Amino acid sequence: MRGDMAVHRAQKARDDMEQKPMDMVKKVCLLGDPGVGKTSLVRRFVTDQFDDKYLSTIGAKVTKKAKIIEVPDRQLRINLILMIWDVAGNQDYPQFYDMYLKGMEGVLTVADLSRPKTFEGLKASVSHVERKTEGAPVVFLLNKADLVELASVDLKEIKSLADDKGVPFLVTSAKTGMNVEKAFECISEMIISDWAKKKFGVA
């Protein structure tokens, strides 16, 4: 009887260890032109709130939120702690801009659907990431879907750029919450997939 109990306790301890998530901290940067809604996207994701008052970010604001990510091939549950850097769209001081981006392991680059001129910022952000990192994953976010009729917006150039760079893109709205959670889930899974591939040789 005692032997059976010892075996049961040992098995339970092993099960608990397997179920306990592995903590991991990763830096994610939000990039894009001023006023595209980066801060609002972070606020919606972290606190599920929206404020339409525009306050320009100065420098970078860092926010933290955790997500559980599964790696089925390795039977791992990862408590991914996202350190979210909301980086100012104004790049007048490139030395500081580069400093804020140092060590980034994932990027959400944001454009404003109601201002097509901001689409160019997506291309610039991808180029910057390619120069500054070794293939950090990127997701394009086309924000402020609540302000436009999507059918009226020409996305051919964005789709072409996304296909060319192998970058997924999502239409989002910080105001309604549309695809905001999905956006952070997408970049989280891409970060963990990269980590798993490097560590274990699996996707």
Boundaries of every domain in the chain: 21-200
When pLDDT is cut at 50, 70 and 90, the band that residue 198 belongs to is: confident
- For the chain, the average pLDDT equals 85
Among 18-32, 70-84, 165-179, which range has the highest average pLDDT? 165-179
Q: Output the pTM of the full model.
A: 0.84
Range of lowest pLDDT (33-47, 49-63, 81-95): 49-63
Of 25, 30, 27, nearest to 183 by C-alpha is: 30
pLDDT mean over 109-135: 91
Distance CA 200, CA 74 (A): 9
What are 72-108's pLDDT values in tens digits? 877 889 999 999 999 886 665 566 677 888 899 999 9
Range of lowest pLDDT (16-25, 77-86, 107-116): 16-25
The reported pLDDT for the residue numbered 17 is: 46
Task: Tell me the fold of 21-200.
Answer: Rossmann fold (3.40.50)
